Amino acid sequence: MPPAHAHNWRALEPLPEPEALASMELRAFERLWAEQRARLTASGTYDSFWERVARRWSIETGIIERIYDVSLGATRLLIEQGFSASLLQHADSNLAPDHLIAILDDHKAGLEHVMDLIGGRRELSPGWIKELHAVLCHNQGTVSAVEQGPLKRALEIKFEHGSYKRLPNSPTLEDGSVHEYAPPEHVASEVESMLAHHAALPADLPEVRSAWLHWAFTHTHPFQDGNGRVARALASIDFIRAGLFPLVVERDDRNSAYFPALRAADRGNLQPLVAFFAKCQSRSVVQAISTAEAAITSSKGRMAAIQAAREKVEARLAASGAERRRIMLARMHELILYVEAVFHSTAIEIRNTVPGVSSSVMSSTPATEHYWTQQLVQIAKARSYWADLREPRVWARLSLRNGATVDVVVAIHFVGNPSPGSSMCSAFLVHRDEKDTPVHQARFTILPVEPLLLVAEEEPREQRTRFGAWLTDAEEIALHEWRRSL
């Protein structure tokens, strides 16, 4: 009996109603980053900043494919100092340093190939995609395959760079089912169809264009290997054209978000992939806002430090930033009142349902807004952004007591250095074994929920909807963590 199919290949069709899939907050992120990019350009540091972005993309795109492993420490070092085998220790990767650097250089050259396209020097075509594949996979000499026939032995065969597959490459999954890709005889026509459908999508929706192109390419799987790397390069085109960032899928997202979103797209639902790509861009924008200051102040010398300090103070005092912070602070106060109301409802439900548990809710005042500084700094460090704690901030706390006390805290603070008027929402738990344990001595848990970026340019109603969905997820995760502590 032939194996069942986990996914049946079908010919590509136009995407219906792409506007319904749009992630509207991305428009606000585009405007926000445009200002920060102009600041970097004016300071003469944009090129060095972009080099670090390119290195990060080059490293992570191979880790997702499990072509290699690179430790987080080595990743940071390579991003900051450049691709050099001399920076690597034996334990930093499962590949020899020289081989790893050669592959990373190929990935970076692939992104440069994308930049040539965006600069107008080339056109997106089947021939260009074949060249991209050859560049990205230049130092990969073989590809794993399975022998045809009853034995199905694993083989290593020569990697044909820049050539469409000549044999089927549909994988058999652990349960014996088959994920079916386009048959070799249909690949050329499907790539042509993919490019035509992509060109017809609205130019002002880069997240929709990017997600659909990525899915369509992986659905076709035109090359024997290297399709994931090519797909993420293709998915970067529309984002970079919109003034944003190449698509970086972080290693922790591989199984938790990226692959599930691709599986949903296989079933006809592109929305999770669009939302995930928008989240990736949000993360890149947050990190870019925070690291822009480091790039600007990297010049050495006494006068350079003084000049950078002057520019930073001027940026904080600039009327445009101050007005956006005023708008955002008003929204932060409204949102924390919403959190407080949700927490009150939860507190009542817990008191009425769980015996022996008392609960209370508290929110910040001007005199207490500085609470949780240590926790916010740690979260910002873990998530690679800069918490601007010079500006006002707000928080709400749900305290659950059953001998020990667990505080569920949601805090909203400005982000950036200085903040251009953007704020970050984060959630965490604080565990106190005794009722009178000082907060600074309490145990602290960062919840596995992505901090939420809010910008003043976003339409308030849509922003409130995004925040409400984020708060629902954060509270649910927090309550499950509290349950484990009982």
pLDDT of 439 higher than 90: no
Same domain, 246 and 344: no
Same domain, 287 and 327: no
Q: What is the pLDDT of residue 290?
A: 73
Same domain, 325 and 437: yes
Same domain, 278 and 130: yes
User: Domain holding 198: CATH number?
Assistant: 1.10.3290.10
pLDDT of 296 higher than 60: no
Q: What is the pLDDT of residue 121?
A: 82
Would residue 308 count as lying in a domain?
no
What residues have CB less than 8 Å from 12, skipping those under 6 apart? 190, 193, 194, 197, 216, 219, 220
Same domain, 355 and 227: no
Same domain, 265 and 329: no
User: How far is the C-alpha of 75 from the C-alpha of 83, rounded, in Å?
Assistant: 10
Q: Which of 145-149, 158-162, 223-227 has the highest mean pLDDT?
A: 223-227
Same domain, 339 and 404: yes
Domain edge (last residue) among 292, 327, 345: 292
Would residue 299 count as lying in a domain?
no
**Percentage helix, strand, coil for the chain under 3-state DSSP, each rounded to 5:** 55, 15, 30
Same domain, 204 and 325: no
pLDDT band at 443 (very low <50, low <70, confident <90, very high): confident
pLDDT of 1 higher than 50: no
Would residue 450 count as lying in a domain?
yes
Q: How many residues does the chain have?
A: 486
- Give Cα separations from 126 to 131, 194, 237, 339 (angstroms): 9, 10, 15, 51
pLDDT of 158 higher than 60: yes
Q: What is the pLDDT of residue 156?
A: 74
Domain edge (last residue) among 292, 310, 331: 292
Same domain, 123 and 214: yes
Structure tokens at 366: 């001007």
- Average pLDDT of the chain, as a whole number: 89
Would residue 302 count as lying in a domain?
no
Same domain, 165 and 263: yes
Would residue 112 count as lying in a domain?
yes
Q: What is the pLDDT of residue 289?
A: 79
Taking the model in full, what pTM does it have?
Answer: 0.85
Q: Exposure of 176 by Cβ count < 10 A (0-12 exposed, 13-18 middle, 19+ buried)? A: exposed
Write the DSSP string, 395-415.
Answer: EEEEEEEESEEEEEEEEEEEE
Give percent of the chain above pLDDT 90.
67
Would residue 304 count as lying in a domain?
no
145 is in which domain, residue-wise? 18-292
Would residue 399 count as lying in a domain?
yes
Indicate the residue type of 332: M
Beta strand ranges found along 139-290 (DSSP E): 142-146, 154-158, 178-179
pLDDT of 327 higher than 60: yes
pLDDT band at 18 (very low <50, low <70, confident <90, very high): very high
User: How far is the C-alpha of 226 from the C-alpha of 140, rounded, in Å?
Assistant: 9
Average pLDDT over residues 366-375: 93
Domain edge (last residue) among 292, 309, 327: 292
Would residue 307 count as lying in a domain?
no
Please tell me the total count of domains within the chain.
Answer: 2
Among 411, 373, 404, which Cα is nearest to 389's?
373
Same domain, 428 and 343: yes
pLDDT tens by residue, 87-96: 999 999 999 9
For 430-468, b where at least 16 C-beta lie within 10 A, e where not — what string? bbbeeeeeeeeebebeebebbbbbbbbbbeeeebbebbe
Strand pairing partners for 82? none
**Of 51-65, 167-181, 449-463, where does mean pLDDT reach its minimum?**
167-181
- Give Cα separations from 213 to 114, 127, 167, 234, 376 (angstroms): 14, 16, 23, 7, 37
Same domain, 190 and 43: yes
